[in-house]
Amino acid sequence: MSKNVSDHTKLAHLSRDEEVLQGAVNPPVHRASTILFERAEDLYSSKPKRSYGIVGMSVHDSLREAFCTLEQAYSVVLAPSGLAACTMPLLAICSAGDHVLLSNNIYGPTRRFCENHLPRLNIEFDFFDPENSNNILEHIKSNTKAIFMESPGSLTMELTDIPAIVAVAKGRNIWTLVDNTWGAGWFLKPITMGVDFSIQAASKYPCGHSDVLMGTIATGSKKADKVLQRFDTDSGNFVSPDDAWLVLRGLRTMSARLERQQTSALKVASWLSQHPKVAQVLHPALACHPDHQLWKRDFTGSSGLFSFLLHPTSEAQVFKILNSLKYFGLGFSWGGYESLAIHCDPQLIRTNPKWPDQGNIIRLSIGLEEPHDLIADLSQALNI
Protein backbone atom coordinates (compact mmCIF):
# COMPACT_ATOMS: atom_id res chain seq x y z
CA MET A 1 0.00 0.00 0.00
CA SER A 2 1.29 3.46 -0.91
CA LYS A 3 3.03 5.34 1.89
CA ASN A 4 0.95 8.45 1.10
CA VAL A 5 -2.33 6.72 1.97
CA SER A 6 -3.75 7.86 5.34
CA ASP A 7 -3.58 5.59 8.39
CA HIS A 8 -7.41 5.51 8.39
CA THR A 9 -7.43 3.94 4.93
CA LYS A 10 -4.55 1.64 5.81
CA LEU A 11 -6.35 0.27 8.86
CA ALA A 12 -9.39 -0.56 6.74
CA HIS A 13 -7.51 -2.27 3.92
CA LEU A 14 -4.15 -3.65 4.99
CA SER A 15 -3.47 -7.31 5.68
CA ARG A 16 -6.44 -8.49 3.67
CA ASP A 17 -4.90 -11.16 1.49
CA GLU A 18 -7.58 -12.48 -0.88
CA GLU A 19 -6.03 -15.95 -0.93
CA VAL A 20 -6.53 -16.17 2.84
CA LEU A 21 -9.89 -14.38 2.98
CA GLN A 22 -11.57 -16.36 0.16
CA GLY A 23 -14.16 -13.60 -0.26
CA ALA A 24 -14.76 -12.94 3.43
CA VAL A 25 -13.92 -9.55 4.90
CA ASN A 26 -12.07 -10.94 7.91
CA PRO A 27 -9.54 -13.80 8.00
CA PRO A 28 -10.30 -17.20 9.50
CA VAL A 29 -9.06 -18.15 12.96
CA HIS A 30 -6.49 -20.70 11.96
CA ARG A 31 -5.53 -23.02 14.83
CA ALA A 32 -2.50 -25.31 14.57
CA SER A 33 0.29 -26.95 16.46
CA THR A 34 1.23 -29.65 13.92
CA ILE A 35 1.92 -28.62 10.34
CA LEU A 36 1.88 -31.59 7.96
CA PHE A 37 4.60 -32.08 5.34
CA GLU A 38 4.16 -33.88 2.05
CA ARG A 39 7.70 -35.32 1.95
CA ALA A 40 10.05 -36.57 4.66
CA GLU A 41 12.89 -34.78 2.87
CA ASP A 42 11.30 -31.44 3.83
CA LEU A 43 10.83 -32.11 7.56
CA TYR A 44 14.13 -30.58 8.62
CA SER A 45 14.58 -28.28 5.68
CA SER A 46 15.01 -24.61 6.51
CA LYS A 47 12.86 -23.65 3.53
CA PRO A 48 9.22 -23.92 4.69
CA LYS A 49 7.76 -20.77 6.17
CA ARG A 50 5.97 -22.78 8.83
CA SER A 51 7.13 -26.05 10.27
CA TYR A 52 5.28 -25.76 13.59
CA GLY A 53 2.29 -23.73 14.82
CA ILE A 54 4.36 -21.72 17.27
CA VAL A 55 5.47 -19.40 14.47
CA GLY A 56 1.81 -18.42 14.06
CA MET A 57 -0.64 -18.87 11.21
CA SER A 58 -2.11 -16.44 8.67
CA VAL A 59 -4.08 -14.50 11.29
CA HIS A 60 -0.83 -13.83 13.17
CA ASP A 61 0.84 -12.74 9.92
CA SER A 62 -2.02 -10.35 9.19
CA LEU A 63 -1.88 -8.82 12.66
CA ARG A 64 1.91 -8.44 12.58
CA GLU A 65 1.70 -6.81 9.15
CA ALA A 66 -1.01 -4.41 10.36
CA PHE A 67 1.02 -3.29 13.38
CA CYS A 68 4.14 -3.07 11.27
CA THR A 69 2.44 -0.63 8.89
CA LEU A 70 0.91 1.37 11.74
CA GLU A 71 4.22 1.73 13.61
CA GLN A 72 6.23 2.13 10.35
CA ALA A 73 8.42 -0.64 11.69
CA TYR A 74 10.85 -3.16 10.25
CA SER A 75 9.02 -6.06 11.96
CA VAL A 76 6.61 -6.81 14.79
CA VAL A 77 6.63 -9.54 17.44
CA LEU A 78 3.40 -10.36 19.27
CA ALA A 79 3.48 -11.11 23.00
CA PRO A 80 0.87 -12.64 25.34
CA SER A 81 0.41 -9.40 27.32
CA GLY A 82 1.55 -5.80 27.30
CA LEU A 83 3.76 -6.55 30.28
CA ALA A 84 5.42 -9.45 28.43
CA ALA A 85 6.04 -7.05 25.53
CA CYS A 86 7.86 -4.71 27.96
CA THR A 87 10.02 -7.42 29.53
CA MET A 88 10.84 -9.52 26.43
CA PRO A 89 13.08 -7.02 24.63
CA LEU A 90 15.00 -6.34 27.85
CA LEU A 91 15.68 -10.06 28.21
CA ALA A 92 16.56 -10.28 24.52
CA ILE A 93 19.16 -7.50 24.53
CA CYS A 94 20.72 -7.48 28.00
CA SER A 95 23.40 -9.79 29.41
CA ALA A 96 25.12 -10.13 32.76
CA GLY A 97 27.25 -7.06 33.43
CA ASP A 98 25.02 -4.68 31.46
CA HIS A 99 23.33 -1.58 32.82
CA VAL A 100 19.81 -0.37 31.94
CA LEU A 101 18.30 3.10 32.37
CA LEU A 102 14.62 3.18 33.19
CA SER A 103 12.35 6.19 33.06
CA ASN A 104 11.12 6.96 36.56
CA ASN A 105 7.48 6.88 35.36
CA ILE A 106 7.43 3.43 33.72
CA TYR A 107 4.44 1.14 34.19
CA GLY A 108 4.64 -0.28 37.74
CA PRO A 109 4.83 -3.98 36.79
CA THR A 110 7.69 -3.22 34.32
CA ARG A 111 9.51 -1.53 37.22
CA ARG A 112 8.73 -4.53 39.46
CA PHE A 113 10.12 -6.94 36.84
CA CYS A 114 13.36 -4.96 36.67
CA GLU A 115 13.68 -4.72 40.45
CA ASN A 116 12.95 -8.41 41.06
CA HIS A 117 14.75 -10.05 38.16
CA LEU A 118 17.50 -7.90 36.63
CA PRO A 119 19.74 -8.09 39.74
CA ARG A 120 19.36 -11.88 39.72
CA LEU A 121 20.76 -11.84 36.17
CA ASN A 122 23.55 -9.48 37.25
CA ILE A 123 22.08 -6.64 35.21
CA GLU A 124 22.23 -3.23 36.90
CA PHE A 125 19.58 -0.54 36.49
CA ASP A 126 19.01 3.10 37.43
CA PHE A 127 16.14 5.51 36.96
CA PHE A 128 16.15 8.86 35.16
CA ASP A 129 13.69 11.73 35.38
CA PRO A 130 11.54 11.59 32.21
CA GLU A 131 11.05 15.35 32.15
CA ASN A 132 14.76 16.04 32.48
CA SER A 133 16.15 14.19 29.46
CA ASN A 134 18.82 16.89 29.06
CA ASN A 135 20.84 15.31 31.81
CA ILE A 136 20.59 11.73 30.48
CA LEU A 137 24.35 11.75 29.88
CA GLU A 138 24.93 11.99 33.63
CA HIS A 139 23.22 8.59 34.04
CA ILE A 140 24.95 6.77 31.22
CA LYS A 141 27.74 4.36 32.19
CA SER A 142 30.29 2.54 30.06
CA ASN A 143 28.12 -0.61 30.32
CA THR A 144 24.72 1.02 29.61
CA LYS A 145 22.96 -1.23 27.12
CA ALA A 146 19.40 0.11 26.97
CA ILE A 147 17.21 3.10 27.82
CA PHE A 148 13.55 2.32 28.51
CA MET A 149 11.08 5.24 28.19
CA GLU A 150 7.33 5.59 28.60
CA SER A 151 5.86 8.75 27.12
CA PRO A 152 3.58 9.91 28.54
CA GLY A 153 3.70 7.95 31.80
CA SER A 154 0.36 6.20 32.14
CA LEU A 155 -0.44 7.58 35.62
CA THR A 156 1.27 10.95 35.91
CA MET A 157 1.48 11.84 32.21
CA GLU A 158 5.02 13.25 32.00
CA LEU A 159 6.54 13.29 28.51
CA THR A 160 10.09 12.41 27.55
CA ASP A 161 12.09 14.14 24.84
CA ILE A 162 12.46 10.93 22.82
CA PRO A 163 14.55 12.35 19.93
CA ALA A 164 17.00 13.89 22.44
CA ILE A 165 17.48 10.54 24.17
CA VAL A 166 17.78 8.71 20.85
CA ALA A 167 20.47 11.15 19.72
CA VAL A 168 22.55 10.39 22.83
CA ALA A 169 21.93 6.62 22.65
CA LYS A 170 22.70 6.16 18.94
CA GLY A 171 26.28 7.40 19.17
CA ARG A 172 26.93 5.00 22.05
CA ASN A 173 25.39 1.80 20.73
CA ILE A 174 22.64 1.87 23.36
CA TRP A 175 19.25 0.34 22.49
CA THR A 176 16.20 2.59 23.01
CA LEU A 177 12.75 1.28 23.98
CA VAL A 178 9.49 3.22 24.31
CA ASP A 179 6.26 2.00 25.89
CA ASN A 180 3.99 3.55 23.25
CA THR A 181 0.67 2.33 24.66
CA TRP A 182 -0.82 5.82 25.16
CA GLY A 183 0.10 6.88 21.61
CA ALA A 184 -1.22 3.51 20.35
CA GLY A 185 1.00 3.66 17.27
CA TRP A 186 -1.55 6.18 16.06
CA PHE A 187 -0.61 9.49 17.69
CA LEU A 188 3.10 8.72 18.13
CA LYS A 189 5.49 6.86 15.80
CA PRO A 190 8.64 6.22 17.86
CA ILE A 191 10.31 4.15 15.12
CA THR A 192 10.32 7.20 12.84
CA MET A 193 12.20 9.02 15.63
CA GLY A 194 14.95 6.41 15.59
CA VAL A 195 13.73 4.30 18.52
CA ASP A 196 14.76 0.64 18.32
CA PHE A 197 11.72 -0.98 19.99
CA SER A 198 8.23 0.56 20.16
CA ILE A 199 6.13 -1.42 22.60
CA GLN A 200 2.37 -1.44 23.03
CA ALA A 201 -0.07 -3.09 25.37
CA ALA A 202 -2.45 -4.05 22.56
CA SER A 203 -4.85 -4.95 25.37
CA LYS A 204 -5.74 -1.23 25.43
CA TYR A 205 -6.75 0.72 22.28
CA PRO A 206 -6.01 -1.89 19.59
CA CYS A 207 -8.22 -4.47 21.32
CA GLY A 208 -10.59 -1.73 22.49
CA HIS A 209 -13.10 -4.01 24.22
CA SER A 210 -11.36 -4.93 27.52
CA ASP A 211 -11.41 -8.65 26.80
CA VAL A 212 -7.97 -9.58 25.40
CA LEU A 213 -4.45 -9.41 26.81
CA MET A 214 -1.75 -8.88 24.19
CA GLY A 215 1.43 -6.91 23.57
CA THR A 216 3.32 -5.87 20.46
CA ILE A 217 6.99 -5.05 19.97
CA ALA A 218 7.79 -3.14 16.80
CA THR A 219 11.44 -3.10 15.75
CA GLY A 220 13.18 -0.26 13.94
CA SER A 221 15.88 -2.18 12.07
CA LYS A 222 17.12 -5.54 10.84
CA LYS A 223 19.58 -5.56 13.76
CA ALA A 224 16.83 -5.01 16.37
CA ASP A 225 14.63 -7.57 14.61
CA LYS A 226 17.40 -10.20 14.67
CA VAL A 227 18.05 -9.93 18.40
CA LEU A 228 14.34 -9.96 19.26
CA GLN A 229 13.38 -12.78 16.85
CA ARG A 230 16.11 -14.98 18.32
CA PHE A 231 14.66 -14.56 21.81
CA ASP A 232 11.08 -14.88 20.54
CA THR A 233 11.85 -18.23 18.91
CA ASP A 234 14.00 -19.62 21.71
CA SER A 235 11.67 -18.62 24.58
CA GLY A 236 8.50 -20.24 23.23
CA ASN A 237 6.63 -16.95 23.06
CA PHE A 238 3.17 -17.33 21.47
CA VAL A 239 -0.26 -15.68 21.31
CA SER A 240 -3.44 -17.60 20.52
CA PRO A 241 -4.99 -17.21 17.06
CA ASP A 242 -8.32 -16.32 18.69
CA ASP A 243 -6.69 -13.39 20.50
CA ALA A 244 -4.82 -12.35 17.35
CA TRP A 245 -8.14 -12.36 15.47
CA LEU A 246 -9.84 -10.25 18.15
CA VAL A 247 -7.05 -7.67 18.21
CA LEU A 248 -6.99 -7.47 14.39
CA ARG A 249 -10.76 -6.91 14.45
CA GLY A 250 -10.37 -4.25 17.15
CA LEU A 251 -7.60 -2.53 15.20
CA ARG A 252 -9.96 -1.96 12.24
CA THR A 253 -12.10 0.44 14.31
CA MET A 254 -9.35 1.89 16.50
CA SER A 255 -9.06 5.18 14.61
CA ALA A 256 -12.78 5.96 14.99
CA ARG A 257 -12.71 5.08 18.69
CA LEU A 258 -9.54 7.08 19.32
CA GLU A 259 -10.90 10.17 17.58
CA ARG A 260 -14.04 10.14 19.71
CA GLN A 261 -12.13 9.29 22.88
CA GLN A 262 -9.67 12.11 22.19
CA THR A 263 -12.45 14.69 21.81
CA SER A 264 -14.44 13.43 24.81
CA ALA A 265 -11.37 13.23 27.06
CA LEU A 266 -10.44 16.82 26.19
CA LYS A 267 -13.98 17.99 27.05
CA VAL A 268 -13.90 16.16 30.39
CA ALA A 269 -10.34 17.33 31.15
CA SER A 270 -11.18 20.98 30.37
CA TRP A 271 -14.27 20.80 32.59
CA LEU A 272 -12.25 19.25 35.43
CA SER A 273 -9.58 21.95 35.13
CA GLN A 274 -12.23 24.54 36.17
CA HIS A 275 -13.54 22.51 39.10
CA PRO A 276 -12.81 23.99 42.55
CA LYS A 277 -11.95 20.60 44.06
CA VAL A 278 -9.36 19.87 41.35
CA ALA A 279 -5.82 21.16 41.91
CA GLN A 280 -4.39 20.14 38.51
CA VAL A 281 -5.36 18.18 35.42
CA LEU A 282 -2.56 16.01 34.04
CA HIS A 283 -3.30 15.89 30.30
CA PRO A 284 -0.48 16.74 27.86
CA ALA A 285 -2.85 18.21 25.24
CA LEU A 286 -3.96 20.93 27.67
CA ALA A 287 -1.91 24.12 27.26
CA CYS A 288 -1.31 24.23 31.04
CA HIS A 289 0.55 20.87 31.02
CA PRO A 290 4.29 21.35 31.66
CA ASP A 291 5.21 19.19 28.62
CA HIS A 292 2.56 20.60 26.28
CA GLN A 293 5.11 21.96 23.78
CA LEU A 294 6.82 18.57 23.57
CA TRP A 295 3.45 16.91 23.02
CA LYS A 296 2.67 19.39 20.22
CA ARG A 297 6.03 18.70 18.59
CA ASP A 298 5.96 14.89 18.72
CA PHE A 299 2.33 13.71 18.86
CA THR A 300 -0.48 14.11 16.32
CA GLY A 301 -3.22 13.83 18.94
CA SER A 302 -4.11 12.56 22.38
CA SER A 303 -5.86 9.44 23.58
CA GLY A 304 -8.55 9.04 26.22
CA LEU A 305 -6.35 8.47 29.28
CA PHE A 306 -5.47 11.26 31.71
CA SER A 307 -5.33 11.98 35.43
CA PHE A 308 -6.23 14.77 37.80
CA LEU A 309 -4.97 15.83 41.16
CA LEU A 310 -7.46 16.66 43.91
CA HIS A 311 -6.70 19.30 46.50
CA PRO A 312 -5.40 17.38 49.53
CA THR A 313 -8.21 15.33 51.02
CA SER A 314 -8.66 12.09 52.98
CA GLU A 315 -8.45 8.66 51.37
CA ALA A 316 -11.98 8.04 52.65
CA GLN A 317 -13.20 11.04 50.62
CA VAL A 318 -11.45 9.71 47.49
CA PHE A 319 -13.18 6.36 47.99
CA LYS A 320 -16.51 8.17 48.40
CA ILE A 321 -16.00 10.01 45.11
CA LEU A 322 -15.03 6.85 43.23
CA ASN A 323 -17.80 4.75 44.77
CA SER A 324 -20.46 7.24 43.76
CA LEU A 325 -19.53 7.20 40.05
CA LYS A 326 -22.25 5.62 37.90
CA TYR A 327 -20.76 5.50 34.41
CA PHE A 328 -17.11 4.99 35.29
CA GLY A 329 -16.24 1.41 36.19
CA LEU A 330 -13.63 0.95 38.90
CA GLY A 331 -10.92 -1.23 37.44
CA PHE A 332 -7.42 -1.47 36.02
CA SER A 333 -6.40 -1.28 32.39
CA TRP A 334 -7.73 1.29 29.91
CA GLY A 335 -8.47 1.95 26.24
CA GLY A 336 -11.78 0.06 26.17
CA TYR A 337 -15.11 1.43 24.93
CA GLU A 338 -16.26 1.93 28.53
CA SER A 339 -14.98 4.59 30.91
CA LEU A 340 -12.89 3.61 33.92
CA ALA A 341 -11.56 5.34 37.03
CA ILE A 342 -8.94 4.45 39.65
CA HIS A 343 -7.09 6.29 42.37
CA CYS A 344 -3.36 6.12 41.67
CA ASP A 345 -1.57 6.83 44.94
CA PRO A 346 -0.82 3.21 45.94
CA GLN A 347 0.88 2.79 42.53
CA LEU A 348 2.95 5.97 42.57
CA ILE A 349 6.31 4.38 43.18
CA ARG A 350 9.16 6.64 42.18
CA THR A 351 12.89 6.52 42.82
CA ASN A 352 15.08 9.58 42.74
CA PRO A 353 13.34 11.99 42.37
CA LYS A 354 10.45 10.69 44.44
CA TRP A 355 6.87 11.63 43.54
CA PRO A 356 6.04 14.77 45.58
CA ASP A 357 3.14 14.02 47.88
CA GLN A 358 0.84 16.75 46.57
CA GLY A 359 -2.63 15.27 46.96
CA ASN A 360 -4.64 12.41 45.57
CA ILE A 361 -4.51 11.47 41.89
CA ILE A 362 -7.47 9.95 40.08
CA ARG A 363 -6.93 8.47 36.61
CA LEU A 364 -9.73 8.33 34.04
CA SER A 365 -9.94 6.27 30.88
CA ILE A 366 -12.61 7.93 28.77
CA GLY A 367 -14.73 5.54 26.72
CA LEU A 368 -17.37 6.06 24.07
CA GLU A 369 -20.13 7.41 26.30
CA GLU A 370 -21.51 10.91 25.73
CA PRO A 371 -19.07 13.34 27.39
CA HIS A 372 -21.94 15.36 28.93
CA ASP A 373 -23.08 12.25 30.78
CA LEU A 374 -19.54 11.63 32.04
CA ILE A 375 -19.20 15.25 33.17
CA ALA A 376 -22.56 15.09 34.98
CA ASP A 377 -21.42 11.88 36.66
CA LEU A 378 -18.11 13.42 37.77
CA SER A 379 -19.92 16.54 38.93
CA GLN A 380 -22.26 14.65 41.26
CA ALA A 381 -19.37 12.50 42.53
CA LEU A 382 -17.06 15.44 43.27
CA ASN A 383 -19.85 17.27 45.08
CA ILE A 384 -20.56 14.33 47.35
Nearer to ligand PLP, 153 or 382 (CB): 153
- Is 83 near ligand PLP (CB under 6 A)? yes
Name the residue among 240, 246, 199 with its Cα closest to residue 26: 246
Residue type at position 275: H
Among 72, 229, 333, 347, binds ligand PLP (CB under 6 A): 333
Among 58, 75, 156, 203, binds ligand PLP (CB under 6 A): 203
# residues near ligand PLP by CB under 6 A:
14
Among 27, 82, 130, 241, binds ligand PLP (CB under 6 A): 82
Minimum CB separation of residue 179 from ligand PLP in Å reads: 5
Strand partners, 91: none
How many residues in the chain? 384
Instruction: Return the residue nearest ligand PLP (CB atom).
Output: 82
Among 66, 201, 265, 364, binds ligand PLP (CB under 6 A): 201
**Span interacting with ligand PLP, options 9-17, 19-27, 42-50, 79-87, rule CB under 6 A:** 79-87
**Span interacting with ligand PLP, options 75-83, 116-124, 239-247, 359-367, rule CB under 6 A:** 75-83
Bridge pairing between strands 144-150 and 99-103: parallel
**φ, ψ (nearest 5 deg) of residue 280:** -160, 140
Q: Footprint of ligand PLP on residues 178-197 (CB under 6 A)? A: 179, 181
Q: How far apart are CA 249 and CA 140, in angstroms?
A: 42
Q: How far apart are CA 136 and CA 160, in angstroms?
A: 11
Minimum CB separation of residue 107 from ligand PLP in Å reads: 4
Among 62, 75, 103, 154, binds ligand PLP (CB under 6 A): 154
**Span interacting with ligand PLP, options 78-86, 162-170, 236-244, 247-255, rule CB under 6 A:** 78-86
Instruction: Spell out the alpha helix ranges (H) of the chain.
Output: 7-13, 18-21, 58-71, 82-93, 108-117, 136-139, 162-170, 222-235, 241-252, 254-273, 292-298, 315-323, 371-382
**Span interacting with ligand PLP, options 58-66, 81-89, 248-256, 354-362, rule CB under 6 A:** 81-89
Among 188, 213, 294, 382, binds ligand PLP (CB under 6 A): 213
- Is 246 near ligand PLP (CB under 6 A)? no
Minimum CB separation of residue 243 from ligand PLP in Å reads: 11
- Its sign, for the CA torsion 274, 277, 279, 283, is negative
Q: Tell me, what DSSP letter sits at residue 360?
A: -
Nearer to ligand PLP, 58 or 87 (CB): 87
Q: Calculate the alpha carbon distances from 156 to 33, 62, 350, 374 in Å.
A: 43, 34, 11, 21
Q: Are 319 and 349 in contact (CB under 8 A)?
A: no
Q: Are 241 and 30 in contact (CB under 8 A)?
A: yes
Name the residue among 149, 138, 140 with its Cα closest to residue 105: 149
- Is 158 near ligand PLP (CB under 6 A)? no
Nearer to ligand PLP, 75 or 181 (CB): 181
Q: Footprint of ligand PLP on residues 12-51 (CB under 6 A)? A: none
Residue numbers of the site for ligand PLP (CB under 6 A)?
A: 81-83, 86, 107, 150, 154, 179, 181, 201, 203, 213, 215, 333
